[in-house]
Amino acid sequence: YWGLETKRIGRPIRFFETVDSTQKIAHELAANGAEEGTIVLADEQTMGRGRLSRGWHSKKGKGIWMSLIIRPDIAVQKAPQFTLLAAVGVAGAIEDVAGLSPKIKWPNDLLIEGKKVCGILTEMVSQENRVLAIIIGIGINVNHRPGDFPDALKDKATSLAIHAGKEIPRAKLVQSFCLKFERLYDTYLKAGFLPVKTLWETYACSIGQRIEARMVQGTIRGKALGIDEEGVLLLQDDSGRIHHIYSADIEIEKD
Ligand code: BT5
């Protein structure tokens, strides 16, 4: 029905018209033994969430609101790498299906012309430092027109249709994402994060630039040097000191 060419990813896809959050449902399924590759997909979310209990605007019929369950046997510290892996998968699917060139802003945003078109939320269930399940929430603004966004998002959000000048078939995007993600994931399981990192770098927009990293502990300004072999952001402040950033909101400074 979904026309998938994958072996595991998107098998099955559990589709709902309206849910509070696909992330919440995926957590429940994962706790009840859902198999790796299961996707929860919804046409509308009434309580879509971002990081740090922020909201995610998920208008009915306009986007892809989905959560993917995977079960790699890895240490918990590696789980954030899946935000980067998923971002590469989404970027590739957008190129293929919409013919657009999105940029990835570390760690979890995809941008088109500086505006957010996709956000990713990676959460996990673990036991004794090992991952039991990773739940990757992905929100892609697909067929919104400018007026479909609430006022608070008008200046910072965009959709694929706005840039492509036409509606984009959502099922094709899901298919393409599943295939790309499965290939990346297989590569990751065989060869580790390095090949994913190399691909990620071809899409990255914040590297080499002056940025501001806002964290719970405070803000650091400096130059983004790149990511290390674990996916951690390296930020050099004006005194030359290099900070390892595990999670933050990044603002690219305009010159
Ligand atoms: C994210 O958080 O970007 C992660 C978003 C993950 C959403 C997916 S949808 C399927 C799954 N189920 C869920 O419930 N969630 C996941 P963060 O980096 O914290 O960004 C959140 C911020 O992005 C908000 O505070 C807004 O400023 C902005 N925002 C909200 N909705 C948006 C939208 N549709 N498009 C662009 N920006 C948005």
Q: Is residue 5 part of a domain?
A: no
**Both 156 and 139 in a single domain?**
yes
Mean confidence (pLDDT) of the chain = 97
Residue 33 within a domain: yes
- Determine if ligand 1 sits within 6 Å of the CB of residue 166: no
**Has residue 2 got a pLDDT over 90?**
no
Same domain, 227 and 188: no
Regarding whether 63 and 148 lie in a shared domain, the answer is yes
For residues 167 and 63, membership in a common domain is answered with yes
Which of 99, 101, 141, 89 has the alpha carbon at shortest distance from 117? 141
Looking at the structure, tell me whether residues 58 and 159 fall in a common domain: yes
What are the tens digits of pLDDT across the range 79-122? 999 999 999 999 999 999 999 999 999 999 999 999 999 999 99
- The enclosing domain of 235 has a CATH number of 2.30.30.100
Domain count along the chain: 2
182 lies in a domain? yes
**pLDDT greater than 70 at residue 136:** yes
59 within ligand 1 shell (Cβ under 6 A): no
Q: Is residue 1 part of a domain?
A: no
Same domain, 197 and 214: no
User: Is it the case that residue 10 has pLDDT exceeding 80?
Assistant: yes
| In a domain? residue 215 | yes
CB 149 near ligand 1, within 6 Å: no
User: What's residue 121's pLDDT?
Assistant: 98
Testing ligand 1's pocket by substitution, the residue of 20, 39, 43, 56 carrying the most ligand atoms inside 8 A of its CB is 56
- Structural domain boundaries, residue 146: 13-203
Chain CA centroid to CA 82, Å: 8
Query: In this structure, what CATH number is given to the domain that contains residue 73?
Result: 3.30.930.10
Position 206 scores a pLDDT of 87
**With bands split at pLDDT 50, 70 and 90, how would you rate the model's confidence at 255?**
low
* CB distance 153 to ligand 1 below 6 Å: yes
- Residue 55: how many other CB atoms lie within 10 Å: 12
Q: Please report, for residues 81, 107, 165, the alpha-carbon distance to residue 121 in angstroms, rounded to integers and kept in the order given.
A: 12, 10, 28
* C-beta of 116 in contact with ligand 1 (< 6 A): yes
Position 7 in a domain: no
> Same domain for 68 and 172?
yes
Same domain membership, residue 144 and residue 115: yes
Quick: pLDDT tens for 39-87.
999 999 999 999 999 999 999 999 999 999 999 999 999 999 999 999 9
Same domain? 176 vs 122:
yes
98 and 215 part of one domain: no
Mean pLDDT value across residues 128-155: 97
Is pLDDT above 90 for 161?
yes
Looking at the structure, do residues 47 and 171 belong to the same domain, yes or no? yes
On whether both 127 and 220 belong to a single domain, the answer is no
Report the separation in Å between the CA atom of 240 and the middle of ligand 1, taken as the mean of its atom positions: 33
CA angle, 24 then 124 then 214, to 5°:
95
118: in domain: yes
CA of 58 relative to ligand 1 center, distance in Å = 8
- The single residue listed with the structure tokens 């036409």 is 166
Is the Cβ atom of 199 under 6 angstroms away from ligand 1?
no
| Atom 15 (ligand 1) nearest CA | 49
Q: Is residue 94 part of a domain?
A: yes
Cα–ligand 1 centroid distance for 86 (angstroms): 15
- Mean pLDDT confidence for 21-33: 98
Mean pLDDT of 140-167: 97
Residue 1, pLDDT score: 63
In a 13 Å sphere around the CA of 214, the CA atoms on its Cβ side amount to 6
Domain final residue pick, 187, 203, 219: 203
- Report pLDDT digits (tens) over 210-247: 999 999 999 999 999 999 999 999 999 999 999 999 99
For the chain, the DSSP string reads: ------SSTTSSEEEEEEES-HHHHHHHHHHTTPPTT-EEEEEEESS-B-STT-B----TTTEEEEEEEE----BGGGTTHHHHHHHHHHHHHHHHHH----EEETTTEEEETTEEEEEEEEEEEEETTEEEEEEEEEEEE-S--GGGS-GGGTTTB--HHHHHSS---HHHHHHHHHHHHHHHHHHHHHH-SHHHHHHHHHHBSSTTSEEEEEETTEEEEEEEEEE-TTS-EEEE-TTSPEEEESS-EEEEPP-
Q: What is the pLDDT of residues 188-213, one digit of tens each?
A: 999 999 999 999 999 999 899 999 99
